[in-house]
Structure 1
Amino acid sequence: MVRKGVEVSLEERQAKAAEDISRKLRSVPARKDRVNESLEALQEFADSGGTVLQPKNRSRATSLNQQLHKNCAEEAEYLRKLLSDIEKLKELDAKARTQLPMSRQQLMKFLVQQGELLPLWIGGVDGFPPPSVGAVEQPASAPLKTGDAVAALVEENWILAEVEAALPGGKFELKDVDDDQRSQLILPRNCIIPLPKYRADPLRDNHAIFPRDAFVLALYPQTTCFYRGIIHKPPEMATDMYSIMFEDSSYTSGYSPSLPIHQRYVVSYRDPPDARER
């Protein structure tokens, strides 16, 4: 009965979020039109000889440029907020699905979808992507939030887990995503690696992409475990995946043939901390 109540609450939140997004989407064309109108006005001014910045033209040119910049900035800010709302709706959808029992096949399909739906970081013209974008790691001092996806070191294995709660003493309660029994995991911060929250665009933010031959921890396909591997080929487009060769002693090279892995499931390789440090 309690579970049913939670599901209804989530459904209501999902419905309201979807309705808000639908309403906001209807305003997008009008904002685009304002930008186009400003561009056309500036082009007409230039075609009429306005590019010759005589004293009489300077004020008009400045006004047109300022209006164009204002309309572009307003459209960009509106779209960023709309994208944020869409991401929140996707999180609600994911939360609703994880509260229901899933077969092994359903879980694997869900993880692939989570990798495909990782949002793309869209920054400004200048600046470096913040932590949690692609290969840009969170500092060890950064707080972890409930629901954060992480790689967690459990009995010498890195597994896919989710943060349940922060505990006193710098430890965290985690949930193994592949444990239907929801067994309690308590780990210190140095046994936890947060996963990226955004994809990096190689064409805009290549410095947030792991380079070829970099050692990484990556989620092996059709499992919930991370293994050490090497980047065979980094993504070239925002929609591309990494091509990763995993360490495998059964091959003469010591590495498996390359496999495609989503950015969501690739983090910097880290040696397990000494048992005394855990």
Structure 2
Amino acid sequence: MIVAGTRAELAAARARLAGPVVLVPTMGALHDGHRALLRRARELAGTGARPGTVAVSIFVNPLQFAPNEDLDRYPRTLNEDLRTCAAEHVDLVFAPGVREMYPAQQLVTVDPGPAGGILEGEFRPGFFRGVLTVVLKLFSLVRPDVAVFGQKDAQQLALVRQMVADFALGIEIEAVPTVRAADGLALSSRNKYLSSPERAVAPVLHQALAAGAAAAAGGPRAALEAARRVLALAGGALTVDYLALVERGTYGPVRDDAFEGAAVLAIAARLGGTRLIDNVPVQIGAGQPGMAEHAADD
């Protein structure tokens, strides 16, 4: 496994890589959810006599953190991450420092458009500008054929796909369904922040989404109301930033009570000082099957 810490090292390694090159962008602190991304990347790159390349980036991107967020305490576990990458048959890890990625002030950034100003974009102003800017820079440096992202960050996934289409980047974007703990909590590097009592409450997010999906045949209002009833069981322990139903392709809010078809039921909430997000793909309307976890790449 090649570990590159600079652009020059990456460029030298990239020149020797066999295609297809499949990139998994991460901020490190790798867990089983990341392992699922790495395994899917390995499948896409191939394992035969002439396999392609799995590349992983590990970079905590300061552009996507607001001043009051957790940039300084975000988990950084590079040595452990490298062992995980090696175990998952990664070929190249690009782990630059901040000065390597941003040798000067980043004056030109990517505007995420209208879909970047709602939900996560509303509660984390500038977040998606930072995300899309670093992803575009990573795409430019690594030059992948395919990039793999998790469905847990569904709004990010939609915006990356839009950026790839709008800029004609020619990169295939592959989504991997959310990986969960046994009690339903979506795996996240930030789960480490939860205290034991908070961790006991955290599964209510997925329980609410599952209840909403189960009620989806009754339409958008029924799905949202079912989810809200479950969230109410957490009482004051949980502060909900949003619970929203959005169209799967555009991530625009579903505003029509007569809407039927593919959607995403999404939530963000705070437990103590930890902010958690989750979502499930759903089918809205009479005769629809409800939750559609395997429709993640639609």
Give the TM-score normalised by the residue count of structure 1. 0.31
Q: Which of the pair has the greater relative contact order for Cα pairs under 8 Å at 6+ separation?
A: 2
Q: State TM-score, norm by structure 2.
A: 0.29
From the CA coordinates, give the structure whose radius of gyration is larger: 1
